[in-house]
């Protein structure tokens, strides 16, 4: 299932399914999105706060449900990540989403919703910029990539990565894209919303995680069979993940070698996807390919109609 493409003048709903944001930052994000030629309707969660959450679980979930039910809304963008998306999965009305398919975009903690909506509804979702990114003004390559995939009914093609990706394991593969933030993918295991990696291209990225922590979560995925069942793996950005005591730690590159070498499927690292600039938008649930010979990731189908 694909949402209708985004057009100038369309109304974008802003929601905060996870942690709260400063009012000033939210207002800056709304202004920037408006300056791009869209109208904006903000949900109640955008200006709500309950500890580390953007309001009560029921409020955050109803914001999502209401945005999908609102005929004026063409797309739903998330304000920020943090924590809290998993808490509302049982409150999200997936039947309503299926009946009213729309663009839904975010990353980081929003990974829980991106994969749940795709797996429960079959609707392609988008791992891409959030309110915090818009608040500071989107980096030009980030904006170009986002508009290319949300506004065009043509396949986006090769991701224009500014640096040549590294190869961890050789090969070629294609499949539907799944995954996102490693911490959230790992936390989904054993739940009704467990990320399905069978014959999928699995995307993994994270930020502010020591190598031992990345090792632990990747090992959990490996022991759960999630890496073996995937067709290929894309490793996005891993900002601020250097060890505090390098002399007492493996490097992140050594962790990747230990976990992925010998899997017998392609693994590329260093894609600008996630907590980084640029942050390329990619479609969860759309057909993508990975080729370690050309060191490319390509989006093979349109993500909107």
108 labelled catalytic? yes
Q: What are phi and psi of 293, to 5 degrees?
A: -70, -50
275 labelled catalytic? yes
What pTM did the predictor assign? 0.98
By three-state DSSP, how is residue 242 classified?
coil
Q: What are phi and psi of 105, to 5 degrees?
A: -135, 145
Which pLDDT does position 62 carry in this prediction?
98
Superfamily of domain 157-299: LD-carboxypeptidase A C-terminal domain-like (3.50.30.60)
Catalytic residue chosen out of the listed positions 169, 205, 210, 287: 205
Catalytic residue chosen out of the listed positions 108, 241, 289, 302: 108
**pLDDT tens digit string along 208-225?**
999 999 999 999 999 999
Catalytic residue chosen out of the listed positions 19, 62, 209, 275: 275
- Of all residues in the chain, the percent with pLDDT exceeding 90 is 99
The conformational region for residue 225 under phi > 0 = left, psi -120 to 50 = alpha, else beta, is left
- Whether 11-138 and 157-299 share one fold: the answer is no
Q: What are phi and psi of 98, to 5 degrees?
A: -60, -35
**pLDDT tens digit string along 156-182?**
999 999 999 999 999 999 999 999 999
Pick among 3.40.50.1820, 3.30.70.60, 3.40.50.10740, 3.90.1150.10: CATH of 11-138: 3.40.50.10740
Q: Where are the domains of the chain?
A: 11-138, 157-299
């Amino acid at each position: 299932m694909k949402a209708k493409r985004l057009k100038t003048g369309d109304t974008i709903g802003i929601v905060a399914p996870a942690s709260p944001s400063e009012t000033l930052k939210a207002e800056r994000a709304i202004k920037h999105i408006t300056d791009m030629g869209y109208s904006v309707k903000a949900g109640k969660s955008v200006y709500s706060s309950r500890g580390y959450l953007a309001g009560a679980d029921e409020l955050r979930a109803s914001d999502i449900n209401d945005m999908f039910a609102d005929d004026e809304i063409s797309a739903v963008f998330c304000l920020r990540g943090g924590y809290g998306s998993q808490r509302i999965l049982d409150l999200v009305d997936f039947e309503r989403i299926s009946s009213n398919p729309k663009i839904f975009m975010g990353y980081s903690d929003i990974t829980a919703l991106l994969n749940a909506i795709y797996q429960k509804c079959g609707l392609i979702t988008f791992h891409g910029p959030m309110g915090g990114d818009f608040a500071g003004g989107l980096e030009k390559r980030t904006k170009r990539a986002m508009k290319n995939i949300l506004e065009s009914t043509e396949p986006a093609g090769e991701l224009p990565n500014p640096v040549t990706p590294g190869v961890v394991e050789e090969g070629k593969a294609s499949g539907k894209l799944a995954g996102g933030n490693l911490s959230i993918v790992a936390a989904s295991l054993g739940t009704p919303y467990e990320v399905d990696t069978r014959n999928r291209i699995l995307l993994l990225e994270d930020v502010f995680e020591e190598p031992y922590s990345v090792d632990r979560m990747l090992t959990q995925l490996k022991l759960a069979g999630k890496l073996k069942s995937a067709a290929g793996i894309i490793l996005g950005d891993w900002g601020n993940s250097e060890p505090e005591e390098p002399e007492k730690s493996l490097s992140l590159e050594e962790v990747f070698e230990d976990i992925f070498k010998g899997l017998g499927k392609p693994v590329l690292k260093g894609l600008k996807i996630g907590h980084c600039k640029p942050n390329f938008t990619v479609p969860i649930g759309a057909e993508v390919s990975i080729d370690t010979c050309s060191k490319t990731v390509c989006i093979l189908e349109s993500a909107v109609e």
